Amino acid sequence: MFRDNLQKIVESCDGAMAGVVMGFDGIAVESVSLDPEVDVNTISMEFSFVLTQVRKAAEILETGELEEVAIRSAKLTFLIRVLSGDYFLGLALRPAGNFGKGRFLMRMAADELRAQL
């Protein structure tokens, strides 16, 4: 079921290469990749550690629940949407990919994904 949601997001967003549902512990529940060279599990695992640090910072600052993180580097944009206290949705895009559409699709899919956790 996660797979269908991920496939839909990745295929509907220009420039999206891969999507993942992952635990904050860095273990993927499901992933989909349109580009065999993009190892979305490794990317997400690396950023899952960072995400835990961001959550801690948000807690210290009392800015409320962490909802979204976007990381843009020269060769990759990585969008994260927090699904629960344990899981997040990640989307890897090419730099010229549709950042706004990616965020929108992830927000739209979040409730359905959450219901499956």
Is the Cβ–Cβ distance between 21 and 10 less than 8 Å?
no
CA-nearest of 63, 69, 102, 66 to 84 is 66
Least CB distance to a second copy at residue 46 (A): 4
**Closer residue to a second copy (CB): 2 or 47:** 47
Per-residue CA distances from 23 to 14, 43, 61, 75, 81 (Å):
26, 13, 23, 24, 12
Pick the closer one to a second copy by CB: 7 or 51.
Answer: 51
Min dist. Cβ of residue 18 to a second copy (A): 13
Task: Pick the closer one to a second copy by CB: 10 or 43.
Answer: 43
Identify the CA nearest to 80 among candidates 5, 7, 21: 21
Q: Which residues bind a second copy (CB under 8 A)?
A: 42-43, 46-47, 49-50, 53-54, 57-58, 60-76, 78, 100
Q: Least separation, in Å, of the C-beta of 109 and a second copy?
A: 17
